[in-house]
């Protein structure tokens, strides 16, 4: 069994901009666990614990549902939080240009994988890349102020030409991600 998800990796060229924003949040003294900038990605679907046989079936379904999507560009250019600024659990970077195609991809993945028994996500899909998880309400006002000040921040533009099935091994030092397979658009 392996803990898996479907994602699009952000490029190395985004790392400095991600680190810069994370530094601003660190200055708040908030209780935030930051994602390593080299590991930041856009999750299209979390699959959970699955076996290798099911991974192979997921790859086939993924290939089928993405076959009509050509490579495209996205712009990562916003900062937000889930679920709200009143109760922050996740700090994320949002997608501007290209978000419609990511939403279409997610719809296709949800529909296709439901045929394999995966539950459809009940929450609305908002294309994003998590950069930090807030562990408590410590200095929440300062965190909200950094979010508001950085709304619309440009992180970068990137091509999307592949989607990966990734494995996540949870360790005391944070998750270790490895690519299992990829589907080329």
Longest Cα–Cα distance of the chain, Å, equals: 47
Q: How many domains does the chain have?
A: 1
Residues 157/81/90/46 CA torsion (nearest 10 deg): -60
- Give the global pTM: 0.95
Active-site residue (options: 3, 26, 39, 41): 41
pLDDT at 171: 85
Range of the domain at 51: 2-184
**Whole-angstrom distance, CA of residue 87 vs CA of residue 137:** 8
Cα 174 to its chain centre, rounded Å, is: 16
Regarding beta strands 156-160 and 41-50, do their DSSP bridges make them parallel or antiparallel, or are they unpaired? unpaired
Instruction: Tell me 145's DSSP state.
Output: H
Active-site residue (options: 45, 61, 128, 164): 128
Known active-site residue 128 = yes
At residue 173, the 3 state secondary structure works out as: coil
Q: Tens place of pLDDT for every residue, the chain, 185 residues?
A: 999 999 999 999 999 999 999 999 999 999 999 999 999 999 999 999 999 999 999 999 999 999 999 999 999 999 999 999 999 999 999 999 999 999 999 999 999 999 999 999 999 999 999 999 999 999 999 999 999 999 999 999 999 999 999 999 988 888 899 999 999 99
CATH no. for residue 149?
Answer: 3.90.1140.10
Known active-site residue 40 = no
């Amino acid at each position: 069994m392996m803990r898996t998800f479907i994602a699009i990796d952000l490029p190395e060229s985004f790392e400095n901009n991600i680190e810069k924003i994370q530094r601003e949040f660190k200055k708040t003294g908030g209780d935030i666990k930051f994602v390593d900038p080299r590991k930041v990605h856009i999750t299209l679907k979390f699959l959970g614990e699955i076996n290798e046989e099911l991974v192979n079936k997921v790859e086939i379904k993924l290939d089928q549902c993405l076959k009509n999507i050509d490579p495209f560009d996205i712009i990562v250019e916003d900062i937000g939080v889930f679920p709200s600024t009143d109760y922050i659990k996740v700090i994320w970077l949002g997608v501007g240009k290209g978000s419609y195609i990511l939403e279409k991809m997610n719809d296709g993945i949800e529909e296709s994988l439901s045929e394999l028994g995966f539950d459809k996500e009940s929450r609305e899909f908002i294309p994003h890349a998590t950069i930090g998880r807030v562990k408590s309400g410590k200095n929440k006002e300062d965190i909200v102020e950094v979010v508001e000040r950085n709304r619309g921040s440009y992180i970068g533009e990137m091509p999307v030409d592949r989607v990966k099935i990734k494995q996540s091994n949870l360790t005391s030092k944070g998750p270790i991600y490895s690519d299992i397979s990829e589907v080329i658009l």
